[in-house]
Amino acid sequence: MIPRSNLTSKEGNEIRGHPGESHRILRQVPFPSEYRHVLAIARQHHEKFDGSGYPDNAAGWEVLPYSRILAIVDIYDALTAKDRPYKRSLPLAKRRWTTYCARRRAWVRWTRP
């Protein structure tokens, strides 16, 4: 079990590997053509608009809009999860504020300038 605190560097690297691992697993699924972007969405959901995300340091509009939406959903899920052994879930008001702030950050842009 992971102690309730910040992750170690090794643990953080392991967690940061999950978009690539998800991509590897999903690549084996024969998605219909209308779901052709699922692989990229899963892989990009931790990319940031300024290119400082992971796993590929994608930047700007090369990060798909659905990937940016999934990033917000992922943040909210992490904030509400009761089963994260290393951090407690946040109260509702703090979850809303944190999600709002994440959406307002530069890496979650919805329209082209």
Q: What is the pLDDT along the chain (113 residues), one digit of tens a residue?
A: 445 457 788 988 888 899 999 999 999 999 999 998 999 999 999 998 888 889 999 998 899 989 988 988 888 888 888 877 767 787 778 877 777 777 666 444 555 55
Question: How far from 94 is each of 19, 81, 101, CA to CA, in Å?
Answer: 26, 14, 10
Alpha helices in the chain (DSSP H): 9-16, 18-26, 38-44, 65-80, 92-104
Domain ranges of the chain: 9-104
pLDDT value, residue 95: 76
pLDDT at 1: 40
Q: pTM, whole model, 2 decimals? A: 0.73
Q: Domain 9-104 belongs to what architecture?
A: Orthogonal Bundle (1.10)
